[in-house]
Amino acid sequence: MLGLCKNIEGVFKFEYRRQLLASACITIITFCHGFGLGWFSVILAKLESPTETELDFVITVNEGSWIGGLSSLGGACGNIVYGILADFIGRKASNYVLAIPYIVSWILIYFASSVEYLYVSRFLAGVTGGGTYVIIPIFIGEIAEPKIRGRLTSFFSLTLYSGIFIGYIITSRVPYHYIPIPGVAIPIIYMVFQLFFPETPMYLLQRGSYARAKESLKFYRNFQPTTKENSQQFEIVFNDLKNAVTSNKNNMNTVTWRDFCNREAVIAFGNGFVLMLLNVFCGAYGILYYTSSVFVQARTEMHPDTNTIIVGLVQVTGVYTATFLVDRFGRRPLMMFSCAATSIGMATFGLYGYLLQNTTVDVSAVRSWLPLVNACFIMFVANSGLIPIPFVLLVELMPAKIRAKAAAICLVIFNIIGFVLMKMFPISLAAFGLSAPMWLFAVTCFLGLIYIALFIKETKGMSLNKVEPEA
């Protein structure tokens, strides 16, 4: 069996096995975060209905919007807190701490006797969600070899949207007070799994723990000293990593404002800001969180819950596609394809909405299928590039010295922009119909295509400690 494993290529190759396993285990918490998002998307309408709510109170539309918005604000808080913790207590310890706010959030949901419980619950869930965007890409980026780093980092989005999809299905069929049981149990299982994985070699080298760093590298590279040449090769790899990390060790421990204001950092921040803006305003999140409202505006005949589940399945398929393609074709080609295709899909949706709501053109022949097919197309192509890859690039483009803090700042911006989208998208739908917001998303994607083509460099195979790709 071991001999067979050694012949497997790609991410399942023998020497990558522990990197793959560690990435799969740490992204369990991302699945949990997605599960909570899927739960909210379905449960919100029920909690607003006097006949469907299983609680002793009914929330208003305004209260529901704040429950959703507080998740984004909690995410911004999580970005800051875990950005600091990642360097202060380490990646491994931060992995444990990720689960605590999330577990408390489900306990509050179970015992909710007023809307304030839900406010605090969604804020805490957002804290964990914001932390995952900081900790997990850094952790995977520091344990994974450049050849498979993109695919392993893409697990983040794959498990997130898988969690959302499962949350859609379970919440639509399981009573309210049963759902917190897996909500608490799964993150506890996640914490148990973290016991089996050491701290990342790069973090240990930054702290001067060379012996532990060597053992960590042996673990994640699945090193087995079968021959003298094998051992010598490992020593070369370890010494190269050690030299790359420790060459700036003193500076790594004394980050100043100058480190954020030099040319390399400013360019990286600019790219990070644009990537976060593009990620949010490509429009995929608007369709994801307000699927029912979109299909009401489109006057489709299919039930909103059915539309939601179908769209959820398609977005998982899109992220799964990106997971396998990101290290084969590179980041830039996938991002450029995703921008172009999403722009076309959004423009088509806007044109359909304009013809439906502002003209006398008869669209009844396509009304039963075009909105769903177009939404599925948008979610597939957006999740093939625009949604998962910016978070891969965010880690790879940032200078190593300020990587954790800089990523946290960009992700705070991401959550603030996300809060604006969650508050304004339903308002713009009600005020302008489908055409205006969809055309805005289409223009954003087109401008993003131009920006990526001109300013974003390819990072496929690039070492996190070097500025040039590895051979």
Position 403: which residue type? R
pLDDT of residue 8: 44
What secondary structure does DSSP assign to 400-418, as a single string? Answer: GGGHHHHHHHHHHHHHHHH
Which residues 6+ apart lie within 8 Å of 361 measured at CB? 355
Q: Which ranges of 194-227 would DSSP assign to H, the alpha helix? A: 201-206, 210-220
Predicted confidence (pLDDT) per residue in 445-456, tens digit: 999 999 999 988
What are the Cα distances from residue 45, in Å, to 52, 58, 107, 442? 8, 10, 21, 29
Poorest-pLDDT segment among 310-319, 340-349, 409-418: 310-319
What are the Cα distances from residue 161, in Å, to 217, 316, 413? 30, 6, 21
Distance CA(338)–CA(345), nearest Å, equals: 10
> Which residues lie across from 462 on neighbouring strands?
469
Model confidence at 316: pLDDT above 80: no
Distance CA(276)–CA(439), nearest Å, equals: 19
pTM: 0.76
- Cα torsion for 30, 31, 32, 37, to the nearest 10°? 90
What are the Cα distances from residue 159, in Å, to 31, 46, 323, 360, 373? 5, 26, 11, 44, 24
Opening angle at CA 243, ends 237 and 245, nearest 5: 100
Which residues 6+ apart lie within 8 Å of 102 measured at CB? 29, 32, 33, 36, 124, 125, 128, 183, 187
pLDDT of residue 29: 94
Q: Which residue has the higher pLDDT, 36 or 9?
A: 36
Q: How confident is the model at residue 315 (pLDDT cuts 50, 70, 90)?
A: confident
SS3 469: strand
392, two tokens: 């891969």
Position 410: which residue type? C
Q: How confident is the model at residue 198 (pLDDT cuts 50, 70, 90)?
A: very high
Position 462: which residue type? M
pLDDT of residue 53: 81
What secondary structure does DSSP assign to 75-94, as a single string? Answer: HHHHHHHHHHHHHHT-HHHH
273, two tokens: 């800001």
Task: Over range 296-302, report the average pLDDT.
Answer: 72
Q: How confident is the model at residue 471 (pLDDT cuts 50, 70, 90)?
A: very low
256-264: Cβ within 8 A, 24+ apart: 259/399, 259/401, 259/402, 260/402, 260/406, 264/399
Distance CA(266)–CA(258), nearest Å, equals: 10
Model confidence at 1: pLDDT above 50: no
> Which residues lie across from 469 on neighbouring strands?
462
Contact 76, 88 (CB under 8 A): no
Predicted confidence (pLDDT) per residue in 389-428, tens digit: 887 787 778 877 777 677 778 878 888 888 888 777 777 8
Q: How confident is the model at residue 248 (pLDDT cuts 50, 70, 90)?
A: low
Q: Considering only CA atoms, which of 323, 394, 328 is closest in space to residue 154?
A: 323
> Which residues lie across from 429 on neighbouring strands?
none
Model confidence at 466: pLDDT above 60: no
Distance CA(437)–CA(173), nearest Å, equals: 32
Q: How confident is the model at residue 470 (pLDDT cuts 50, 70, 90)?
A: very low
Opening angle at CA 224, ends 222 and 230, nearest 5: 110
Q: Which residue has the higher pLDDT, 151 or 340?
A: 340
> Which residues lie across from 221 on neighbouring strands?
none
The total of other beta-carbon atoms located within 10 Å of residue 366's CB is 14
pLDDT of residue 469: 39
For all residues of the chain together, what is the average pLDDT?
Answer: 82
pLDDT of residue 302: 67
Contact 167, 39 (CB under 8 A): yes
CA 286 to chain centre: 15
86, two tokens: 């990642």
Model confidence at 467: pLDDT above 50: no
Q: Considering only CA atoms, which of 390, 396, 326, 317 is closest in space to residue 140?
A: 396
CA 128 to chain centre: 12
Q: Which residue has the higher pLDDT, 394 or 276?
A: 276
Which domains, and CATH codes, for the chain?
11-254 (1.20.1250.20), 256-471 (1.20.1250.20)
Model confidence at 126: pLDDT above 50: yes
Contact 63, 116 (CB under 8 A): no
Model confidence at 326: pLDDT above 80: no
Which residues 6+ apart lie within 8 Å of 306 measured at CB? none
